[in-house]
Structure 1
Amino acid sequence: MKLDRIDFFDIRQPDRLAKAIHTQMGDLVLPVPVEDIATALDISEVRTGSFDGFEGMLLTDQARSIGAILANTRGGFRRARFTIAHELGHFLLEHHVLSSEAGFRCRAQDLKETREGRRHQKQETQANQFAIGLLAPVKALDEMLSSEPDLQDAVRLCVAFDISVEACVRRMIERRPEPLAAVWSKDGQVRYWDKNNGFPFVQLRKGDRLPQTTQAFRVHASSKSGFTDFSESPPMAWTSRDDIEIFEQTRRSPSGHAVTLLWADTPGPDDLDEEPDPYHRELGEPGFR
């Protein structure tokens, strides 16, 4: 594989950078050969293995003349593929400031970071955005989505792109036009959640128990694995809104890990009987994922 970094030097937006790489590659190959791409772009070595204390590491200099990537496989090889793409993002986004003299050292929470904020957090967010754009390009992903939201799409995307189901769920939420959120849980306790711009703020924090009035709670209580169908859910169980309808679908694994997809039917302007309160707004965003 031959790629020329000179075409990418002035690109600072992670999604544009990922798209530019795919444009230079030409025909799309799935799963995306991330290690081949890295070595074609001056990464001298990509090493995967079981490491302590970090998820990924990029060894490079400030000039980014050459680099080496280490990716932890303790979370599985699909997670390691994402880590390789994440570190490649740090390498190619040359405005990223090295976290040490040797390069970048990324922890597990860094690869979960999606909030813009301080420089470090912003750099980790951008590296994640590049990674998902490289591994799950928009055009291919959009063609694989069903006509309506469905968690089973995430499993199909997982196989096609060779990345985790969690990453595929987040990518699906990002790309779909419907107001969607996803809540990840383990044994009935919330791990984290994510949403797109159309979905209201979710009033759950890490460690909270799933609301007992929800289908997700009943799935955990029954220890039943697999996919549920969508069913109506009390909106106040998930949000502070009582003027919307929410439908939920859950996928639970035998290990007790689960993801619940929430689909909101929010009222349009013609459905409101009175003017909205201009002082009512959601406060803040979650500090995880």
Structure 2
Amino acid sequence: MEDIAIALDISEVRTGSFDGFEGMLLTDQARSVGAILANTRRGLRRARFTIAHELGHFLLEHHVLSYETGFRCRAQDLRETRESRRHQKQETQANQFAIGLLAPVKAVDKYLSQDPDLRDAQQLRDALDVSLEACLRRLVERRPEPLAAIWSKDARVRYWHKSNDFPFIQLKQGDRLPQTTQAFRVHADSKSGFTAFLESPPMAWTSRDDIEIFEQTRLSPSGHAVTLLWADNEARDDVDEEADPYHHELSEPRFR
């Protein structure tokens, strides 16, 4: 990543332990020159993503500097997926640039199994040296099935990411995982590793009861977990197939 940045007119890339920011791009409005600082406190893999993120700010010339001397990005900015205000939109675009550079489509697709599997994201992480979270987001985006990923800690939701065709998710940051789900039981058992896909109550995750949802969870020894949800949006035979014409998914909650 440092070699790529230098080849694209970044004069210096400096990594180290910094306070108050995850990454910084020092540049001027004309982008005549740039220098990147990347925090290593979260590990070298995270710092590598930060360099790619700041390089995105440098190359995306329509981005407006957040400070007189350039861009300063916090940890939550490197998870930003909202599309509303200018700062949030720029952080989203810098993240999209970074994951496109670090995990290009051609490299990602060859690691995808016939069916969705959290193990694919782990293999992708090890092969491309990108975080498991970034790889799982990439997996959700690249697969044709309606998928969602729920990140949790000690059985409480941290955040989630879903494909456009996955149903509306009711859970918010800090909510306790539904006790009827395999994800909750995995946290309760504290047994690290991967589970198999099992059917899950759809109303535990969404506002719909006319679909089937399957879930798979990976729990780490630290108590952090990620759950992959796979939805079958075809209406079940035992429910009225006529959809409510006045019900629409108006918005998707986003949170940090």
* Class of the TM-score when normalised by the shorter of the 2 chains: over 0.9
The answer for the alignment partner of 1:138 in structure 2 is: 105
Q: What residue is the counterpart of 1:252 in the other structure?
A: 219
Q: Which amino acid aligns with 1:253?
A: S
- Give how far 1:282 is off: 2.0
Q: Does 1:67 align with 2:34?
A: yes
How do 1:105-116 residues align onto structure 2 when only pairs under 5 Å count? 105-116=72-83
Give the SS at the match of 1:144.
Answer: coil
Shift of 1:108: 1.0
Moved over 6 A (4+): 268-272
Q: Bigger shift: 221-230 or 279-288?
A: 279-288
1:242 and 2:209 matched: yes
Aligned to 1:176: 143
Could you tell me which residue of structure 2 aligns to residue 38 of structure 1?
5
1:274 CA drift (Å): 4.0
Give the residue type in structure 1 aligned to 2:87. Answer: H
Distance 2:164 2:228 in 1: 15
Deviation at 1:283, TM superposition (A): 3.5
Matched, 1:275 2:211: no
Query: 2:123 maps to what in 1?
Result: 156
CA distances 1:63-88 after superposition (whole Å, capped 9, x unpaired) = 11110000111111111111110000
Report the aligned-residue RMSD.
Answer: 1.5
Kept after mapping to 1: 8 A contact 2:136/2:149: yes
Quote the Cα distance in structure 2 between the aligned partners of 1:270 and 1:108.
46
Q: What TM-score, normalized to structure 1?
A: 0.86
Structure 2: runs of 5+ lacking an equivalent: none
CA distance in 1, matches of 2:130, 2:231: 27
Letter paired with 2:147: L
Q: TM-score, normalised on structure 2?
A: 0.97
CA–CA distance in structure 1, aligned partners of residues 239 and 36 of structure 2:
54
Q: Percent identity?
A: 82
Give CA-to-partner distance per residue, 1:69-127, whole Å, 9 cap, x none: 00111111111111110000000001100011100000111111111111111111100
What displacement does 1:218 show?
Answer: 0.4
- For structure 1, which runs of at least 5 residues remain unmatched after alignment? 1-33
8 Å CA contact 2:210–2:239 kept in 1: the answer is no
| Preserved CA contact (<8 Å) 1:112 1:288 | no
> Which amino acid letter does the alignment assign opposite residue 46 of structure 2?
R
